[in-house]
């Protein structure tokens, strides 16, 4: 989409904007599956819902158009927020790895059944 801006203080401009990423939306069934899996691992008090929407563009939005899914944040910052993800000073919280694995295992077991 090309939009020509009206003159302002004698300056004109043109914006060439491409709508590329679709909105990332959660499937309600998949949302409940991951919420229940996380609750089983960390307890209901540690599962936060109703968080502020994010404007991050995400490749997941393309996948979720093809299969049901739910995008969630693992909450790796802990008590002290780190620098933003794509910042060179970002410090991943390694303690979140074990919890993340346990949440994924819980999800697989609850959706597919245990072996």
- In the predicted structure, residue 18 carries a pLDDT above the cut 90: no
Task: Give the integer Cα–Cα distance in Å for 77 and 86.
Answer: 14
Task: Give per-residue burial for 43-64: e unless 16+ CB within 10 Å, then b.
Answer: eeeebeeeeeeeeeeeeebeeb
Residue 52 included in any domain? yes
Domain range enclosing 77: 21-112
Residue 55 included in any domain? yes
34 against 113, higher pLDDT: 34
pTM of the entire predicted model: 0.75
85 against 66, higher pLDDT: 66
pLDDT of residue 17: 80
Rounded (10°) CA dihedral 35, 104, 106, 29: 40
Residue 13 included in any domain? no
Share of the chain above pLDDT 70, in %: 96
Mean pLDDT score, 88-100: 90
- In the predicted structure, residue 115 carries a pLDDT above the cut 70: no
pLDDT of residue 82: 81
Mean pLDDT score, 18-23: 81
pLDDT of residue 57: 63
Residue 4 included in any domain? no
- Count the domains in the chain: 1
Residue 11 included in any domain? no
pLDDT of residue 43: 97
Residue 54 included in any domain? yes
Residue 9 included in any domain? no
Residue 12 included in any domain? no
Is the Cβ–Cβ distance between 107 and 35 less than 8 Å? no
């Amino acid at each position: 989409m090309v939009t020509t801006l009206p003159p302002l203080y004698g300056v004109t401009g043109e914006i060439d904007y491409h709508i590329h990423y679709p909105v990332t939306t959660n499937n309600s069934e998949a949302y409940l599956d991951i919420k229940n899996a996380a609750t089983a691992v960390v307890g209901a008090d540690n599962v936060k819902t109703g968080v502020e929407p994010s404007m991050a563009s995400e490749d997941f939005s393309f996948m979720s158009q093809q299969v049901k899914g739910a995008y969630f944040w693992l909450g790796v910052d802990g008590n002290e927020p780190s620098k933003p993800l794509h910042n060179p000073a970002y410090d991943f919280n390694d303690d979140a790895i074990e919890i993340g694995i346990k949440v994924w295992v819980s999800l697989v077991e609850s959706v597919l059944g245990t072996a």
